Structure 1
C-alpha cells in the first residue's frame, strides 16, 4: 500500500506493462460484434447494474473479463460455449489468458478476479441506459491546450471506452491505495456522464466556457443520472461513488485519478508506439513469419522478393 506520508511511490510501477496491454481493448473489434471490447464491456457493466447486480460483483466480473481478453480478445465465455467447450474447459482457457498477464497484480485481488472466470448462467440483464450509446458515439477531444490548435490522432477513442478502461484500471490499482475497488469502478463508469450530451472540446473548451463550465456539466450530468431513476437505488449509489471525483483526498479518489491519468496518456502513447514500430520488432521479436512447416519457404520468398 502507498505510504500515506507522501514519502513512498505514488503508483505501482510493476503494473505498467499490464495497463499498457489492457489499453488495446479500446481498439480490438470482431466480426458480428458492434464496437470495441471496451465499448461492449461498458454496456455490459451498465446492463448488469440496472439489472440489480451488486456493484462489487459487476466490478470484479467486468475486470476479470477484461484481463482475460487482454490476450484472448473475443475468444470469450460466450464464444467458447458456442464452439462446444464445456464450462470447465472454457474456464481453463479463460484462466490461462488471465494468468499470462496478471502476475504483478495484488495476490488477494488476483485470486478474487480469477475465481470469477467460471462460465455459467449469466446475471440478469437490465436495460441499457441511453447515455451508454451516447458516450460510445461521443469522441474524445484529442490533445488540446488553451491558445493552441488541437492535435487529433485518428481514430479517436470514445467516452465509453475511456470510462471502461479507467474503471478496470481503478480496480487493478485499488489495493495499492487501500481503496474500495467497487466504489472506484462505479465512479469511473460514471465520471463522464456529462459528455453523453456535451460535446468534448477538451481543456481548451473548458477554459473558454469559464464560469459556465460547471453549471453546464451539472445540467448534462443530471440528464444521465435521471435515466437511473427507474433502477432502484442505483442512482443514489452512483451519486455516492461520484463523490470521490473532485480530488485525491481519499484512497478511492487517488485510485480513480491515477487510473484516469494513466489512461489519458497511454491512449496517446499507443499512437507514438505504432509510429516508431520497426520491421526488426515485427519479424525478429514478434515472429510475424512464425515457426511452422512452411517457414523455410516463407523466408526464401521474402529474401528473393527483397522484402522488407
Structure 2
C-alpha cells in the first residue's frame, strides 16, 4: 500500500535529474577488449565482490562511486590508468576529478563517502559469478508494452543486468532524499529481476496474459537464482528484496523511484537521439572543436556544404 499522497511534498529530488540522465548512458558505453557495456560489467563486478564475501555496504559504495566517475571518464577507469603507467595517487586524482565533475547535486555526506571509496579503493576478493549474472546480461528487456496493444521495440535493447545496475546506482544516490538505507536499496535493485534470468521478458502484456500463473512462475524462477547464492548471502539478499513489493518503507520508495526513473530515461534517450540537430552538435557540443586546424576544418565544411 502506498504511503505517498498528492500534495505531500515532492516525491523525488529534481536537483538529481541531470546526473541521472547522464549516468544512464553507461548502459550504452562499450570499449575494445571489454565485453559488455560499463553498466553490465559493473553489475558483474558487484556480484563477484558479494559472492567473494565483501560487505554489502562497501560494495554499494564502490560500485556506485565507479559508476558516477565513469559518467565522464567512461572506461578510463582504475584498471586502464594503472596499465597506462599511472601510480595509485594519480589514478585516484583522475577518478575523483571525474566524480566531482558530475556530483554537485549528491547529498554531501554520501558524496564524501563515495569519493573516499575512489581515493582508497577496496580490494575485494572476487567470488565465482552465479549463473544468473550472465543470464541477465543476455536477457533483453521487453521494450514498451501495454496489454491489448502491439509492443514498441527500440533498438538496441538494454539487458536486465544493465537495468539492475542502473537502478542500484540510482537507488544509492536517491537514498538520502528518502532517508533510506542505501545498502538495502542497492541489494534490492541488484536482485529485483532475478526471475528474468530464466524467464523471457514479454513485458506487462505478457505478464497479464499469464494470468494466475504469473506469480507462481516468478516465484519459482526467482528461487532458482537465489539458490545459486550461499546461505548467508542468500538470506541477506532475500531480506533486501523484502522492500520490493510496495512503497511503504523509505527503502521501497528509493527503489521504486530509481526503477521508474531508469525505465523512462531508457526510452527518453532514444527520443533525444531522434530529435538531435546539427546546431546542437556543431554549436553547443563543438564537434569540430578548437585546435590548430579548426579554421581549416570550418572552411572544408563550408566548401563541402556540410551540413
Superposed pair shares fold, TM > 0.5: yes
- Trace 1:35-184 onto structure 2 (pairs within 5 A): 35-118=36-119, 122-184=123-185
What SS does the corresponding residue of 2:145 show, helix, strand or coil?
Answer: strand
What SS does the corresponding residue of 1:116 show, helix, strand or coil?
Answer: helix
> For residue 210 of structure 2, what is the aligned residue in structure 1?
209
Q: Are the aligned partners of 1:87 and 1:120 in contact in 2 as well (CA < 8 Å)? A: no
> For residue 258 of structure 1, what is the aligned residue in structure 2?
257
Alignment deviations for residues 41-63 of structure 1 (CA, whole Å, 9 cap, x no partner) = 00000000000001100000000
Rounded Cα–Cα distance in structure 2 between residues aligned with 1:144 and 1:37: 26
> For residue 295 of structure 2, what is the aligned residue in structure 1?
296
After TM superposition, give the deviation of residue 8 of structure 1 in Å.
1.2
Q: Are the aligned partners of 2:140 and 2:160 in contact in 1 as well (CA < 8 Å)? A: yes
> For residue 277 of structure 1, what is the aligned residue in structure 2?
276
Q: Are the aligned partners of 1:167 and 1:185 in contact in 2 as well (CA < 8 Å)? A: yes
After TM superposition, give the deviation of residue 118 of structure 1 in Å.
2.5
> For residue 304 of structure 2, what is the aligned residue in structure 1?
305
Rounded Cα–Cα distance in structure 1 between residues aligned with 2:122 and 2:146: 48
What SS does the corresponding residue of 2:54 show, helix, strand or coil?
Answer: coil
> For residue 201 of structure 2, what is the aligned residue in structure 1?
200
> For residue 190 of structure 1, what is the aligned residue in structure 2?
191
Rounded Cα–Cα distance in structure 2 between residues aligned with 1:5 and 1:297: 58
> For residue 228 of structure 2, what is the aligned residue in structure 1?
227
Cα RMSD of the aligned pairs, angstroms, is: 1.4
> For residue 246 of structure 1, what is the aligned residue in structure 2?
245
Q: 1:253 to 1:275 in 2, by over 3 A?
A: same
Rounded Cα–Cα distance in structure 1 between residues aligned with 2:7 and 2:99: 33
Number of residue pairs matched? 305
Rounded Cα–Cα distance in structure 2 between residues aligned with 1:73 and 1:83: 15
Q: 1:81 to 1:120 in 2, by over 3 A?
A: farther
Rounded Cα–Cα distance in structure 2 between residues aligned with 1:211 and 1:252: 28
Rounded Cα–Cα distance in structure 2 between residues aligned with 1:73 and 1:11: 27
After TM superposition, give the deviation of residue 122 of structure 1 in Å.
2.7
Q: Are the aligned partners of 1:90 and 1:119 in contact in 2 as well (CA < 8 Å)? A: no
The TM-score normalised by the length of structure 1 is 0.97
Q: Are the aligned partners of 1:87 and 1:119 in contact in 2 as well (CA < 8 Å)? A: no
Alignment deviations for residues 116-153 of structure 1 (CA, whole Å, 9 cap, x no partner) = 11265631111111000000000000000000000000
Runs of 5+ consecutive residues of structure 2 not aligned to the other structure: none
Rounded Cα–Cα distance in structure 1 between residues aligned with 2:234 and 2:44: 17
Rounded Cα–Cα distance in structure 1 between residues aligned with 2:143 and 2:179: 32
Rounded Cα–Cα distance in structure 1 between residues aligned with 2:6 and 2:150: 40
The TM-score normalised by the length of structure 2 is 0.97
> For residue 236 of structure 1, what is the aligned residue in structure 2?
235
> For residue 25 of structure 1, what is the aligned residue in structure 2?
26
Q: 1:255 to 1:31 in 2, by over 3 A?
A: same
After TM superposition, give the deviation of residue 4 of structure 1 in Å.
9.3
Rounded Cα–Cα distance in structure 1 between residues aligned with 2:88 and 2:72: 19
Runs of 5+ consecutive residues of structure 1 not aligned to the other structure: none
Q: Are the aligned partners of 1:162 and 1:263 in contact in 2 as well (CA < 8 Å)? A: yes
Rounded Cα–Cα distance in structure 2 between residues aligned with 1:5 and 1:242: 27
